[in-house]
Structure 1
Amino acid sequence: MKRTTLSLIAVATTLAAVTGFASLTAPDGAPAPEAKAASRLPVERTGLACPAPSTSEVAETRYTSYTPPGTGTGTATGQGSPGKAGQPTAQLTAAASTTASGGTAQGGKAKTPKIPAPVTAPGKPVTSEADGPGAPALTGAATGTLAPGWTVQQTTVVPAGGARGLLGLSCGAADTDFWFPAASTAKERQDYVHLTNPDDTAAVADIELYGPEGVLKSQFTDGIPVPAHATVPVLLSTLTAAAPQQSVTVHVTTRSGRVGAAVGSADEKLGSDWLAAAADPATTAVLPGIPADATSVRLVAFVPGDDDADLKVQLATQTGTIVPAGAGTLHVKSGMTAALDLPDLTRGQAASLLLTPSDPKKPTPFVAALRVVRGKGENTEVAFVPATAAISARATVADNRAKASTLSLTAPGAAAQVKVTASAGSEGGTPVTRTVSLKAGTTTSLTDLVPGGVKGSYALTVEKVSGGPVHAARTLALPQDGTPMFTVQTFVDDHGTVEVPSAHQDLGVLD
């Protein structure tokens, strides 16, 4: 998703002021200094929003907060503006919980919120735990040297009940536009879109639902108010009087302000997890990190424009790209949600799904996501994989655990190289770095990249080195009582640096 930082304005203004002073005090007749090439500098502030993790009495949630060392480019120094106390900060705070109608949300017995501890230095994860339904939604910011790449992972285990499962989410930046294919209003599903406002002013959000026949008429026509520093959960099935739909696409936009958004999904038969926003509409898509033992995969796609899309469906495996048997194409009508079931898709190989135009001369932007199921019968668990953009410089997913994490790296078009770092553990351990070469059209899975002597949770950071685009995802598997509980998080570029133009003042413009 897009991430905007006001610090860019401040940096550019400062640079302009400095060069302006130099030009005003230059000796008479001296030539004006030539503008230098733009440079990349680390961002000075990063904001995140985390939804309330669960309403279950038996929920157990772990937060992992982490900032990778360096800036992701190897050239910037990492210097940034200090926090309020003169030092870099990375801290989360609780957000108030309200309903879509403006009242206070009721979700079990109220407890004193336990706020995750702040990160104090790059390179070491900080963890915190919260049990039961009292864990609040969180908003926060990192400043200075802790801002570039700051990430927070929210991982919840619900061992029993209708929302049982392993729910994982990388907390996201606030924005004004989100797409969520693979949501549902079906009777067996309880899908809530969580809107969290990290800002000091109220926001107003619109939620549109699109089913197989087009838009589902909404009962909220005036927008949904989201107070400042508050969160609003909205049950999707209450937004429309239309018949329940197995697969819908959710579009969240804001009329004013910004929000963080995520969909929490609970299926009474399959399990539960978070559905993160898909990459912005594009003419191609990569959905990385399908587990090797997936028993059911459903692809959901939506075209927001005026033209239909005919998509070629391919699978990038460990050995190359293949076409799934009997499911090589998908036709998506404009403004309508299309779904395609892909049984026996992986056949024992971890893989990633590739979507491209069937006719390269007729590219049409679309959004897409997968619903993935592991296990059979009563011992099933569900996770979601949204289409994700390529890593342009660096991306991180926190809360990895020894013998439980699988990193999937996909090079859809051309061969590539990446550098992968497993950080120190939250309770001890030595970082490990490895350079990985990826063959074109393949998916590479890593299960053995673990910090030396690791204790606690660790982070995985992927940095682009060379070659074509690379997409990545992390699977965390924590089996419990015969149920293969798992969750998949895709790697989203952290935009830890921004390009700042060099400038000097030209007094000639005043003539």
Structure 2
Amino acid sequence: MNRTTLSLIAGAAALTAVTGFAALTTPDAAPTNDTARTAAHLPVERTSLLCPPPSTSDLAETTYTSFTPVTKGTESKGSAELTPAQPESDASEEQQKPGKPVLEPEQPGKQATGDVSGGEAPALIGTAEGRFAPGWTVQQTTEVAAGTGRGLQGVTCTAPDTEFWFPGSSTSAERTDYVHLTNPDDSAAVVDIELYGKDGALKSTVGEGITVPAHSSEPVLLSTLTEEQQTNVTVHVVVRSGRVGAAVQALDDELGGDWLAASTDPAGSLIIPGIPKDATAVRLVAFAPGDTDADLNVRLASPTGLITPAGHETLHVKGGMTAAVDLGDITRGEPGSLVLTPTDRSVPVVAAVRVLRGKGDAQESAFVPAARPVGTRATAVGNTTRTTTLSLTAPEGTAKVKVTASPAADGGSPASKTYTIKSGTTQTITPPTPDGVKGTYALTIEPETDTPVYATRTLTAEDNAFTTQTLPDDRGMVAVPEAEEDLSVLQK
């Protein structure tokens, strides 16, 4: 009996599309009798998102914003909720369950928000099903008035996974960097944290076999994992069993702080989109897993095209070591995106930049990791009319992009606009706003051409504090193989 064909027949009847819970894989061999046909793209039916604890500062003010785009073909029913994870000290292996929901969106197409004050807010575990699942996006934005990590800290709550790369972390004395690990499942997860500096792996034994109990969150201070103080460190989170959500909270004594999201998977070419035009300093950090060195061309996609920054034409990254270079005010008053490509042979790397804005005591930092493209659709939530900018990059060819603004639940009607992004350029736009909007709104970005597009959203506070999030595909759709019943396989 052909095992592959039988699996496809069963899959046609029972397959559930899941974001963050499962991934579809192609069969090892082509099925017989042509029973598998072109994959259909269908809305996902279940989505999991994890938000790290926002802050330990008593001065922290945090807003959670939830949004699901209206997607054709979804079920008529469904729900979404964010519930508190248990602190590691309170978690139990005996069916510990999350508590009462802190946010329950009422309908797709309308934002829902919730607020919390102080430094006791827990991590959140989110689940969306049915019509709330496709493209469900949650933003966590925290404003800290003073102290280490002061400023605006923003992170898009992430799906659980088994591996994460964070170039741009630090174990230096002026930085307080935590890796936050959140486990959404009913059984414990076991995690290894590896640190790589300028000379290779940093000596550490306590980063191995970290247990994250069910439905709990565990913060790990990087400086407790090693005695070596290094300014530029790459963090590699590997899950031995289970799944976790992971994010790095990078807090500086003088330069404010923000969340460092994971870089896209190691690749020979990378795009780091959306460096603000008023950046006063940009530091590029890259890491090459394995033993092979990588040599990269460094180019900037500006509003007028691709340019090579003088004095920083290439970057050499030794295998297994973290490389860093200060690019200064590389954007020179214009927005830009870094385009990293191999000079010769392609060697997989991960990368991110730290961006500074302002001068003197008013300096503030944020991080932009190498990003995945927008794909079918990306979603950004928690936007406001005077503080939001959108950066769009098309490094490989001219692209058309439709941007739609959707209001919160308290009023307003959607507004859309289409933009043309010329090949090799970065364009920063003030996005459309919903008519009659009050408060915040959501944005969806939908390419109308096949050219890859990369995007970031920047929020800026009144005191010029800022935070930037990349906008990859929101994974609202999944490819499902089409199959038909073929009883003849039962006779083989």
3-state DSSP of counterpart to 1:295: strand
- Is 1:466 the equivalent of 2:449? yes
3-state DSSP of counterpart to 1:510: helix
Shift of residue 406, structure 1, vs aligned partner: 0.5
Q: Contact between 1:426 and 1:458, CA under 8 Å: does it hold in 2?
A: no
Alignment partner of 1:384 out of 367, 381, 386: 367
- Is 1:503 the equivalent of 2:479? no
Shift of residue 419, structure 1, vs aligned partner: 1.2
Alignment partner of 1:283 out of 268, 279, 289: 268
Q: Percent same amino acid at aligned positions? A: 57
**In the superposition, relative to structure 1, how do residues 66 and 10 fare at CA in structure 2: closer, same or farther (>3 Å)?**
farther
> What's 1:119 paired with?
105
Deviations 1:80-121 (A, max 9, x none): 7xxxxxx4011010001126xx999xxxxxxxx995421121
> What's 1:225 paired with?
211
Task: Name the amino acid aligned to 2:317.
Answer: V
Deviations 1:123-181 (A, max 9, x none): 10000100001211000110001100000000000011122110000000000000000
- Is 1:422 the equivalent of 2:405? yes
Shift of residue 411, structure 1, vs aligned partner: 0.2
> What's 1:42 paired with?
43
Q: How does 1:232-311 map to 2 (within 5 A)?
A: 232-241=218-227, 243-311=228-296
Tell me, in whole angstroms, the C-alpha distance in 2 between the residues paired with 1:34 and 1:380.
Answer: 61
Tell me, in whole angstroms, the C-alpha distance in 2 between the residues paired with 1:377 and 1:221.
Answer: 36
3-state DSSP of counterpart to 2:479: strand
Shift of residue 37, structure 1, vs aligned partner: 3.5
> What's 2:86 paired with?
96
3-state DSSP of counterpart to 1:37: strand
Q: What is the TM-score with the length of structure 2 in the denominator?
A: 0.90
Shift of residue 319, structure 1, vs aligned partner: 1.1
Tell me, in whole angstroms, the C-alpha distance in 1 between the residues paired with 2:88 and 2:289.
Answer: 30
- Is 1:346 the equivalent of 2:331? yes
Tell me, in whole angstroms, the C-alpha distance in 2 between the residues paired with 1:324 and 1:449.
Answer: 32
- Is 1:13 the equivalent of 2:42? no
Q: Contact between 1:412 and 1:469, CA under 8 Å: does it hold in 2?
A: yes
Alignment partner of 2:310 out of 309, 325, 339: 325
Alignment partner of 2:152 out of 158, 163, 166: 166
For structure 1, the 5+ residue unaligned runs are: 1-7, 17-31, 71-75, 81-86, 105-112
Task: Name the amino acid aligned to 2:487.
Answer: L
> What's 1:313 paired with?
298
> What's 1:132 paired with?
118
Q: Contact between 1:425 and 1:451, CA under 8 Å: does it hold in 2?
A: no
Q: Contact between 1:372 and 1:384, CA under 8 Å: does it hold in 2?
A: yes
Deviations 1:35-57 (A, max 9, x none): 65331111100000000000000
> What's 1:27 paired with?
none
Deviations 1:54-87 (A, max 9, x none): 00001000000000111xxxxx51237xxxxxx4
Tell me, in whole angstroms, the C-alpha distance in 2 between the residues paired with 1:92 and 1:261.
Answer: 17
Tell me, in whole angstroms, the C-alpha distance in 2 between the residues paired with 1:203 and 1:322.
Answer: 45
CA RMSD of aligned residues (A): 2.1
Moved more, 306-315 or 114-123: 114-123
Tell me, in whole angstroms, the C-alpha distance in 2 between the residues paired with 1:9 and 1:92.
Answer: 35
3-state DSSP of counterpart to 1:378: helix
Q: Contact between 2:272 and 2:338, CA under 8 Å: does it hold in 1?
A: yes
3-state DSSP of counterpart to 1:444: strand
Shift of residue 236, structure 1, vs aligned partner: 0.2
> What's 1:83 paired with?
none
Q: Contact between 2:193 and 2:208, CA under 8 Å: does it hold in 1?
A: no
3-state DSSP of counterpart to 2:328: coil
Count of residues in Structure 1 that have an aligned counterpart in Structure 2: 462
Q: Contact between 1:114 and 1:130, CA under 8 Å: does it hold in 2?
A: no
Tell me, in whole angstroms, the C-alpha distance in 2 between the residues paired with 1:187 and 1:35.
Answer: 57
Q: What is the TM-score with the length of structure 1 in the denominator?
A: 0.87
**In the superposition, relative to structure 1, how do residues 33 and 268 fare at CA in structure 2: closer, same or farther (>3 Å)?**
closer
3-state DSSP of counterpart to 1:187: coil
Q: Contact between 2:378 and 2:445, CA under 8 Å: does it hold in 1?
A: yes
3-state DSSP of counterpart to 2:448: strand
**In the superposition, relative to structure 1, how do residues 128 and 363 fare at CA in structure 2: closer, same or farther (>3 Å)?**
same
**In the superposition, relative to structure 1, how do residues 120 and 44 fare at CA in structure 2: closer, same or farther (>3 Å)?**
same
Tell me, in whole angstroms, the C-alpha distance in 2 between the residues paired with 1:260 and 1:345.
Answer: 33
Alignment partner of 2:130 out of 140, 144, 159: 144
Q: Contact between 1:414 and 1:467, CA under 8 Å: does it hold in 2?
A: no
> What's 2:167 paired with?
181
For structure 2, the 5+ residue unaligned runs are: 1-7, 17-32, 93-98
> What's 2:68 paired with?
67
Task: Name the amino acid aligned to 2:311.
Answer: G
Deviations 1:268-321 (A, max 9, x none): 010010000010001111111111111110000000033111001111111111
